[in-house]
Amino acid sequence: MATSVVMPALELAQETGKLVAWRKKEGDSVSKGEPLLEVETDKAVVEIEAPADGVLAAVTAQAGAVIAVGKTIAWILRPGETPPAETAPADSGRHAAAAEPVAAATSAPVAARAAGKGGGRISPKARRFAQEHGIDLAMLRGSGSEGEILTSDVEAAIAAAGAPTQVEVPGSIWRLMAERTLQSWTTVPHFFVVRDVDAGALNETRKQRGPAIERERSVSLTHTDLLVALVARALARHPRVNASWTPKGIRSNEEINIGVAIAVADGVVATVIKNAGQIALGDISVQRRDLAERAKGGRTRPADIAGATFTISNLGMYHVDAFTAIISPPQAAILAVGSITDRVVPVDGRPAVRPIVTLTLSCDHRVIDGAHGALFMNDLADAVRDPEKWLQ
Amino acid sequence: MPEVIARELTFGEAIREALAEEMRRDSRVVILGEDVAEAGTPFKVLAGLVQEFGPERVVDTPISEAGFTGIGVGAAMTGLRPVVDIMFGDFITLTMDQMANQAAKVHYMSGGMWKVPMVMRTTLGATRRSAAQHSQSLHAWFCHIPGLKVIMPSTPYDVKGLLKAAIRDDNPVIVFEDKMMYKLKGPVPVEEYTIPIGKADIKRAGEDITIVATSSMVQVALGAAVMLEEIGISAEVVDPRTLWPLDEHTLVESAKKTSRAIVIDEGYARYGTTAELASVIVEGAFFHLDQPVARMGAMHVPIPFSPPLEDATVPTERSVFDVARALCSKR
């Protein structure tokens, strides 16, 4: 085995030694015990003997160098041997700052620090239990002697909750809806404009035009279809309500494409009727029906939901009087439609029972101000009160 | 435990029987120490052995622990299996170089060419009114040194089986016996048995709290467990039996089961055995713990001679009961 030549420690407190001279050159044969090098301490120059028979090789320190005690400065090789590959520094362990930490010093991994909740103290087991069972620790009162939350407190909360808390993993449509509505609600400054409108004429128009469409297109004309057509016509007069906020400014949208919110098994999708102001009422009905069928069947195509510039959400069929809707950016507004119900209203100074619908417009205040919204609603209310005029 | 246990021995008698059996079995087993032969030690544990085995195998030594411990190490290296008797555990301070630098390291430094199959028997424990120099429990000193095994039996059954295993072990093994336990009686089977070194024993099963206790503190813990049972707390008493090697698994699993743990040892709590055992439990069972691990050991003072003061320095059934009740109680 190759024998290392190390800088010797000649005194107890010695940390380094100065190599004064090599007595042999690299490649020389040496015999164990014969002088190999001279080392200077602060007291004397000392001759160091060769530790083995062989050939001096791999000399790494030259005369004049100051070298840490214990460091290998050369090797003595027997025939056929080569110096070992570069080894870890042979400095004393105490000073081996660069060396890898010794793994044996740690007997077990330090437990990961559990996420802290402010306030009361929580036992490690209670914290783990709460996490495993979906218990919110912030809702618990600790029963420990100093108010600590203990496992028994979590167990009591689990028992109080009855069946184990179920966490439903939402489908992709629901997750998308959650993300979009959160983003809209938290970044779009919403305000709302509300109008109660007499829907008697709207009902009448549906009654008048419905049978022909039914006959010719095999589809029933709905209030939503009529509203799509009327909203599109009102929007043509109010381009601001059909616009979008962009980082560069307010973008006017050329087309008037009306999204219709449709409830499906897993959330809501807004299918789009393009150029709704320019197509026949029957075409709107057919498109609306086809889009709805595809959406409920989970067969919505990308084009079905792309390009809306305004959305209508109608909960009238659920007997909702009125509600507010969340805008779908980059659209600037959405119309929430309640049910058409008979209400007592003044007509010509006298109480009368009339079918009334409450329309609520949600507006992005970056694009639409109160006056814009109010003027649009004025025209829309007029259209609902006199659909035939607007459908000309 | 074997079936036939129709007899009881005292702790001291179990030690004497273990030694006698091993001396009959193996002629290399010899005893060295102060007053071990004619006197049979001040505790009379070895009484009668010199009559059976003669003064050449039960050797009275001068009062020089460093000297006769060194003789024991050398005798072990050269073929005997000595049992060195250190009358009071307080005197191990005099044997430290022989044990920590010689006995513990010879096997390693000789590349396995030498071994030291030696047993040191010594004592620990306070409350004997023996004052500060004869009442300490210094076993942690040896636990700190790689190469030494440390045994802390708590019952006549355990001390016999473990001492016999220690004598047959090829490594230096130190057996600590609480001098207050020599008269403790317990079942010991007549037939041959040994107990593996490094295996803990659950002395009492329980559900609510784990009490890890060593040596005579096991008896204290069992007493506290009875008191706790009366107030509806089910305590599990775990006896590591050997401090090194240490059966970490049994300690950790018990703490995982009960969620609470107390560690009791008669050595000084500061930097002591309890610190190591508590650390093992916390590292292994952290996410299963409902309370901090409590440590109970000797007060950090010289053991007083005054009986009332002495009794206040070490854990008692009452103090263990109080700590356990506090850990299990609610506001």
Q: Which of B283, B289, B329 sits opposite A125 (nearest CB)?
A: B289
Residue type, A378: N
To the nearest 10°, the Cα dihedral for B216, B219, B223, B229? 130
Number of Cβ atoms within 10 Å of the Cβ of A342? 9
pLDDT higher than threshold 80 for residue A104 = no
Residues in chain B with CB shorter than 8 Å from the CB of A123 are 259, 289-291
Of the pLDDT bands very low, low, confident and very high (cuts 50, 70, 90), residue A93 is very low
Q: Which fold has domain A124-160?
A: Dihydrolipoamide Transferase (4.10.320)
- Convert the pLDDT of each residue in A369-379 to its tens digit: 999 999 999 99
Instruction: Tell me which of B277, B287, B323, B328 to substitute to probe the interface with A (most A C-beta atoms closer than 10 Å).
Output: B287
Check whether A363 has a pLDDT greater than 90: yes
Q: Which of B280, B286, B291 sits opposite A111 (nearest CB)?
A: B286
| Euclidean distance between CA atoms B3 and B191, whole angstroms | 10
Phi, psi for residue B215 in degrees, rounded to 5: 50, -135
**In angstroms, what separates the C-alpha of A37 from chain B's closest C-alpha?**
30
Angle formed at CA B309 by CA B305 and CA B310, multiple of 5 degrees: 55
**Domain(s) of CATH 4.10.320.10: residues in chain A:** 124-160
- Which bin fits B125, alpha (ψ -120 to 50), beta or left (φ > 0)? left
Q: Mark residue B247 as left, alpha or beta (left: phi above 0; alpha: psi -120 to 50; beta: remaining).
A: beta
Least CA distance to A111: which residue of chain B? B283
Residue type, A340: I
Q: What pLDDT score was predicted for residue B331?
A: 62
Per-residue pLDDT averaged across A107-128, rounded? Answer: 57
- Give the residue, B200 or A60, on which the prediction is more confident: B200
A86 alpha-carbon distance from chain centroid: 49
**B328 to chain A: nearest residue by CA?**
A144
| Three-state SS at A259 | strand
What are the CA-CA distances from residue B21 to residues B58, B162, B194, B209 (Å)?
14, 13, 11, 39
Shortest CA gap B289–chain A (Å): 5
Homologous superfamily (CATH) for B8-187: Thiamin diphosphate (ThDP)-binding fold, Pyr/PP domains (3.40.50.970)
Query: Is the CB of B290 less than 8 angstroms away from the CB of A147?
Result: no
Q: How far apart are CA A66 and CA A32, in angstroms?
A: 24
Q: What amino acid occupies position A377?
A: M
Pairing of strands A16-22, A35-40: antiparallel
Q: What kind of architecture, by CATH, is found in domain A173-390?
A: 2-Layer Sandwich (3.30)
Spatial CB neighbours of A207, under 8 Å, sequence gap ≥ 6: none
Contact B287 A125 (CB under 8 A): yes
Catalytic positions of B: 134
Residues of B within 8 A of A108 (CB-CB) are 283-284
Alpha carbon of B285: minimum distance to chain A alpha carbons (Å): 9
Judged on CB neighbours under 10 Å (0-12, 13-18, 19+), B20 is middle
Q: How far is A70 from chain B (nearest CA, A)?
A: 19
The gap from C-alpha B290 to its chain's centroid, in whole angstroms, comes to: 30
pLDDT score, position A115: 34
Would an 8 Å CB–CB cutoff place B291 in contact with chain A? yes
Name which CATH class applies to A3-94: mainly beta
DSSP class per residue in B114-163 = -----EEEEEE-S-SS--TTSS---HHHHHTSTT-EEE---SHHHHHHHH
- pLDDT bucket at A92, cuts 50 / 70 / 90: very low
Question: What's the complex ipTM?
Answer: 0.74
Which residues lie across from A19 on neighbouring strands?
Answer: A39
- Boundaries of every domain in chain B: 8-187, 201-328
Residue A381's pLDDT band (cuts 50, 70, 90): very high
Q: CATH 3.40.50.920: does it fit domain B201-328?
A: yes
Average pLDDT in the A245-261 region?
92
Instruction: Inform me whether the C-beta atom of residue A115 falls under 8 Å from chain B C-beta atoms.
Output: no
Q: Count the Cβ atoms, other than its own, within 10 Å of residue A6.
A: 18
CA distance B81 to B97: 20
Nearest CA in chain A to B290: A123
N- to C-terminal Cα separation, chain A: 106
How close A145 gets to chain B, by Cα (Å)?
4
The number of residues making up chain A comes to 392
Query: What pLDDT, on a 0 to 100 scale, did the predictor assign at position A165?
Result: 60
Whether residue B121 contacts residue B177, with contact meaning beta carbons closer than 8 Å, is answered with yes
Chain A contacts of B280, Cβ < 8 Å? 107
Start-end ranges of CATH 3.30.559.10 in chain A? 173-390
What local confidence, expressed as pLDDT, does residue A70 receive?
A: 84
Region A108-135: mean pLDDT is 65
- Residue A12: the pLDDT is 65
List where CATH 2.40.50.100 sits in chain A.
Answer: 3-94
CB < 8 Å to B284, chain A: 108
* End-to-end Cα distance, chain B: 42
Identical topology for domains B8-187 and B201-328 = yes
B146-170 as b/e: b if 16+ CB within 10 A: ebbbbbbbbbbbbbbbbbbbbbbbe
| pLDDT 10s digits, A291-303 | 999 888 877 777 8
Out of A146, A147, A151, whose CB is closest to B259? A151
**pTM for this model (two decimals):** 0.59
- Kindly state the DSSP code that residue A122 receives in the 8-state scheme: B
Tell me if B326 and A145 make a contact (CB, 8 A cut-off). Answer: yes
Cα(B153)–Cα(B165) distance, rounded to whole angstroms? 12
Which pair of structure tokens corresponds to residue A202?
A: 């709207």
* pLDDT tens across the length of chain B (331 residues): 555 557 999 999 999 999 999 999 999 999 999 999 988 888 889 999 999 999 999 999 999 999 999 999 999 999 999 999 999 999 999 999 999 999 999 999 999 999 999 999 999 998 888 899 999 999 999 999 999 999 999 999 999 999 999 999 999 999 999 999 999 999 999 999 999 999 999 999 999 999 999 999 999 999 999 999 999 999 999 999 999 999 999 999 999 999 999 999 999 999 999 999 999 999 999 999 999 999 999 999 999 999 999 999 999 999 999 999 999 986 6
What are the tens digits of pLDDT across the range A145-169? 888 899 999 988 888 877 656 677 7
Q: Within 13 Å of residue B186, how many CA atoms lie on the same side as its CB?
A: 17
